[in-house]
Amino acid sequence: EIVLTQSPATLSLSPGERATLSCRASQSVSRYLAWYQQKPGQVPRLLIYDASNRATGIPARFSGSGSGTDFTLTINSLEPEDFAVYYCQQRSNWPPYTFGQGTKLEIK
């Protein structure tokens, strides 16, 4: 089973700052990695697929990078609506389709 480890667990930043979220896989997942955003009471929303492609309707301030075992989600110039929990998910070796434990992005 591939384990995804996200860091940090919590990230405290102010609007306008840049957020850098990490997702590390226990073995290579090539580029089969997605990022989701989830706000309280809402369904997870796909942000990034195939490690670096923005999903439809996702603002350009969101970007993904990486391949193999190390991945990064970057959010430039944080907007108030960006404060949420972010999950990475691997779609390489399954079952299971593992998720990271999440990074909570909170307002400082």
Q: Please report, as ranges, the residues that interact with another protein according to CB under 8 A.
A: 32, 34, 36, 38, 43-44, 46, 49-50, 53, 55-56, 87, 89, 91, 94-102
**22-60 core/surface letters (b: 16 or more CB in 10 A; e: else):** bbbbeeebebbbbbbbeeeeeebeebbbebbebeeebee
Beta carbon nearer to another protein, 43 or 60: 43
Q: How far apart are CA 52 and CA 41, in angstroms?
A: 27
Beta carbon nearer to another protein, 16 or 96: 96
Beta carbon nearer to another protein, 9 or 16: 9
Residue 15 CB, shortest distance to another protein, in Å, is 25
Beta carbon nearer to another protein, 14 or 56: 56
Residue 77 CB, shortest distance to another protein, in Å, is 24
Residue 65 CB, shortest distance to another protein, in Å, is 17
> In 10 A of CB 66, how many CB atoms?
19
Q: Which residues contact 94 (CB under 8 A, 6 or more apart)?
A: none
